Amino acid sequence: PAPEDVGDRFERTEDDKRTREAVADSFSDPADALSKLEGWKWRENAFRTFEIPAGNSPLASETTVINISIHRFGEEQGAKDALDYFAADVISTQGLEEFRIDRIGEQSRALRGAADGSNLVVLYVRNGNYLIRIGGYSLEGDPTDDLIALAQTIIAS
């Protein structure tokens, strides 16, 4: 997504790609994750982070950080399997809880909890052979609506 897709108060602070090994290293069991990524025919990843700069005086109720990570797999089944694996690892390592949202794309899961003194929401959205992870932080608010709107924008484009 472009900066205008997340809101005019946000600035892009990261724009990069991860290797298969770097993605695997983000899981609780990197060796297992690497094996699974290879089996699922993982092809590539790109990610971006957007933040409202502290100098813009964000409200405690606003979503202040949004990060998007898009994974492309060689086939749809790989993305399907990855969605559940990715979500399960985040639930077990970060203590997030699943909650219900209307489906976005062909498949979606929503997680929420506390992280580093903030409210964290993570959406996993699968469309074809793509798996999209969108995370958002708010000091006191709920980033859910902002993330859903962004996910719908990404899927529509």
Q: Is the pLDDT of residue 7 over 90?
A: no
Task: Please give the C-alpha separations between residue 74 and each of 34, 36, 60, 109, 137, in angstroms, as whole numbers.
Answer: 15, 13, 41, 21, 31
| pLDDT band of 115, cuts 50, 70, 90 | confident
CA atoms within 13 A on the CB side of 72: 7
Express each pLDDT in 33-71 by its tens digit. Answer: 999 999 999 999 999 999 999 888 999 999 999 999 999
The whole-number average pLDDT for the span 29-36 is 98
